[in-house]
Amino acid sequence: MKEILTLLIVFLFIIGCASIPGIEDYNEYAFDLVTNGLYDEALFYLLKADTLTSDYRIKNNIALCYEALGERQLAQKYYQEALKLRETKALKDNYADFKKDQL
């Protein structure tokens, strides 16, 4: 339940995060998919968005989807990429929760 709430909060944060055409559409659609528990499908659109721009919010949400799908190595990779782009409190908290769950 905590993961779903975290995903929803983060997706709300990223909707409209980029000005490149298509990014906002991908984010909005991915948000709708996540709210319905369709992480694989959301991931598909987030990965498309990631090819269009290098944005820490998109990478964070990719990590959250991978985490929800149990793909821990990929989740860690995207968390680390996001942190390299920008270290926000929300992102640091997500990564800390991720690492804590690994114990």
The total number of structural domains that make up the chain = 1
Look up the domain containing 60 and give its range: 2-15+22-94
46 is a domain residue: yes
Tokens, residue 47: 């990965």
The domain spanning residue 81 has which CATH number?
A: 1.25.40
Split at pLDDT 50, 70, 90, the class of 70 is very high
Distance (Å, whole) CA 84 – CA 12:
22
Q: Which pLDDT score, from 0 to 100, does residue 43 have?
A: 96
Question: 44 vs 27, which has greater pLDDT?
Answer: 44
In this prediction, residues 18-47 reach a mean pLDDT of 84
pLDDT, one tens digit per residue, over 74-92 is: 999 999 999 999 999 999 9
- On whether the CB atoms of residues 82 and 91 are closer than 8 A, the answer is yes
